Amino acid sequence: MPLQKNRARGGKGHFYSDQTEAAAKWILLMQAQLSRSKHIFPFPAKIPVSIDAHYIFPLPQNVSKKLIKRIEAGEIIEHVVKPDEDNLSKMIKDCMNKHVYHDDAQVWECSGRKYYGLVPKTIITVTWRTL
């Protein structure tokens, strides 16, 4: 996903990625993972779905070796800058709509956590109730 210079800030080194591009890339990766699942997707309508997401961000460039050792030891260092957790969760719920569940109205619970890690990634766990 190419980064583009943010012209709104006078082109002073601020970069952004188009959310549409990010969503499209995320959907392709998700579809590849779903194809290896033993479950049939999307879940039928009216089955309650719960989502738990972990957003693990790369370490800032100016991070100390002491902080890296704390993370390596398993300590969670919260990510409290943008993007907001609710915006991240909204994007993944929109991307999973029609792919994982029939309709996003089926999501009855959604939780997310943002923190720093040595390997940036997003871990999403979807659970559902059997009727």
Amino acid, res. 36: R
The count of other CB atoms within 10 Å of the CB of residue 36 is 6
54 forms bridges with which residues in the sheet? 113, 123
Note if the bond before 58 is cis, omega within 30 degrees: no
Which of 17-26, 103-112, 117-126 shows the lowest mean pLDDT across its residues? 17-26
Q: Is 116 helix (H, G, I), strand (E, B) or coil?
A: strand
**Res. 72: pLDDT tops 80:** yes
The two structure tokens encoding residue 17 = 């990625």
**Res. 3: pLDDT tops 70:** no
Domain locations in the chain?
39-128
Confidence of residue 18 (pLDDT cuts 50, 70, 90): low
Q: How many residues does the structure list for the chain?
A: 131
**DSSP at 6:** -
Which burial class, exposed, middle or buried, applies to 9 when counting CB atoms under 10 A from its CB (0-12, 13-18, 19+)?
A: exposed
What is the per-residue pLDDT for 2?
A: 42
Mean pLDDT over 59-64 rounds to 92
The two structure tokens encoding residue 41 = 């997707």
Q: Are 85 and 113 in contact (CB under 8 A)?
A: yes
What is the per-residue pLDDT for 19?
A: 62
